[in-house]
Amino acid sequence: MNTVAAFCVLISGLLLFSAGPASATAVSADADAVAKSAGQKWALRSLANRKYVSVRLHDADSKEWRLRASADRPGTWERFTLHTNHAGRTIGFRSEITGFLASAEFADGGDQKGMLRARGVRLGQWQQFIPHYLDEAVLPDSPRGSVVVTLQASEKAQSDGKATDAQRELNYVSAELGADSDGELRARAASAGLWEKFVLEPVAGTLASDTHDMPAAGSAPASDLNVMTWNLCANNRSCTWSGGLAGYAELNSGISAHLRSGSGALPDVIFFQEFCEKHAKRVEEMLEKPVGEGGTGRQWDVRFAPIHNEGDANGPLAQKQCAIKDKNDKVVADRGAYGVAIAVPDENVWYKRYDLVSPTSDIKYEQRTAVCAVLPSRAVAACTAHLSAGYLYDDPDGTWRRRQAQQLLDITRTYEAKGYRVVFGGDFNLVPPYPQAGPKEGGPSEALDPVYDKYLECGQQGDPNAKRTGEPTANASNGKPTRKIDYIFSPKNAPVRNCSVSPDSGHSDHWTLYGTVSLPAT
């Protein structure tokens, strides 16, 4: 959606606010937290001077962390991730080097009014830009997937009845390239000329899977792999976290309380769904604490993969942001993007995110994701996903979940071809094939038959002839789960035993599922 009028309709009645600036001392901690993400990195390049937009980390005082079109290549100062809390109709640019969002500083006066600086702590009014994706030629050396874009911002929300016309006025972001200018970015132009046009370029080489090939699976002795999966409901205001949204301290406490399975085993691999990006590093640190302090006493690597929104078919996917207001309309600390996460032993040096085919008929529909990590010493690849929601939601008849389930099988084949045994699971938003169920009852249940044909599921307790069912994990009634929609799958020669469901759901609306995969020697 590219028109200003349409955007005004979108945000009518919404309260948008300016997010306060970050201090220099906060940079390293937040940048470290978001470094756990497998989200796509992007660079913004001026079409006028062909320079990359750079966060000027060493500029001082009122120009600290300002954005300039000044770099010849996209390094860490020039890389951003794209974020949205309006289903892609607006986007924010989060800097890799500071960990914070580009902010149009409308409070500054004179020739600094509207200057962009990478210091916004959340997606408030000044951190949201309306993108207009143009059908124009990108630069000759721009990579595939690049697009020309103009960006607009305003000091106050269009729906703010107390704002003046000037404060509500939408200004184009311009790269100041005059004789006395140095490429500084400002939201100040009334119309879009060459200085207001940028090329948005995907940056390769920013994930482990971009920089080197998947490592070969090693020879491994027979062993047990304890697996846990849990949809945390960290971003659903109907759940019982404080204010309906999980903060990292409360989340860590809840996860810690659910680490041990019914057999008493601690996990070796954990799948998380409905997870917030900035919690990944904090969860990793909690898991590494001694057992007596609520952890596992082992070293971990926790990786996050974002779910996206597609606001415009001509533009890129933007990472859906975890909510910044709780059910009481209270502003909470920024928790980063929303998606899934995987926790594996810290030997992992390679991981990959996959975009799952998802419905696009409504821009609010989530573009689902999967993430995989490899453990070469155990010849194991672990993957998790959260499939589209069913009846009354994104995928009412199961068309997309069928395709997503098949795509998961296609993903597992890439790891099997490298000698890995694939263990995967998560919240699939489908009931199992037995008993047969239609969309209104949580199905179509037969959508998972191809997966059961190739793999064993936890609920089968290692018996390939067992019915394709299991203990319920969600859809509570009187405090008890009524439907199984969470899964752990393993190879046919690596059956799952000790499959169990947690006695309670904590603050989530899902119960935790556990299983021990009996891995043969390779």
Tokens matching residue 192: 């879009």
Tokens matching residue 22: 């970050």
Could you tell me the strand order of the sheet in which 338-345 lies? Answer: 300-306, 338-345, 269-276, 223-231, 513-519, 496-501
pLDDT for residue 475? 94
pTM value surpassing 0.85: yes
Q: Which domains does the chain possess? A: 4-203 (2.80.10.50), 224-519 (3.60.10.10)
The tens place of each residue's pLDDT in the chain, 522 residues long, gives 343 344 343 333 333 344 555 544 345 466 777 888 999 999 999 999 999 999 999 999 999 999 999 999 999 999 999 999 999 999 999 999 999 999 999 999 888 999 999 999 999 999 999 999 999 999 999 999 999 999 999 999 988 999 999 999 999 999 999 988 999 999 999 999 999 999 999 998 777 677 678 999 999 999 999 999 999 999 999 999 999 999 999 999 999 999 999 999 999 999 999 999 999 999 999 999 999 999 999 999 999 999 999 988 899 999 999 999 999 999 999 999 999 999 999 998 899 999 999 999 898 999 999 999 999 999 999 999 999 999 999 999 999 999 999 999 999 999 999 999 999 999 999 999 999 999 999 999 999 999 999 999 999 999 999 999 999 999 999 999 999 999 999 999 999 999 999 999 999 999 999 999 999 999
CA-to-CA distance for 174 and 45, rounded, in angstroms? Answer: 12
CA-to-CA distance for 186 and 357, rounded, in angstroms? Answer: 37
CA 489 to chain centre: 23
CA-to-CA distance for 56 and 182, rounded, in angstroms? Answer: 12
Write out the E strands in 196-283: 198-203, 223-231, 269-276
Beta-strand pair 318-320/80-84: parallel
Enumerate residues 6+ apart whose C-beta is below 8 A from 46: 52, 53, 69, 175, 177, 183, 195, 197, 198, 199
Sole residue written with tokens 């209104």: 440
pLDDT for residue 27? 52
pLDDT for residue 31? 74
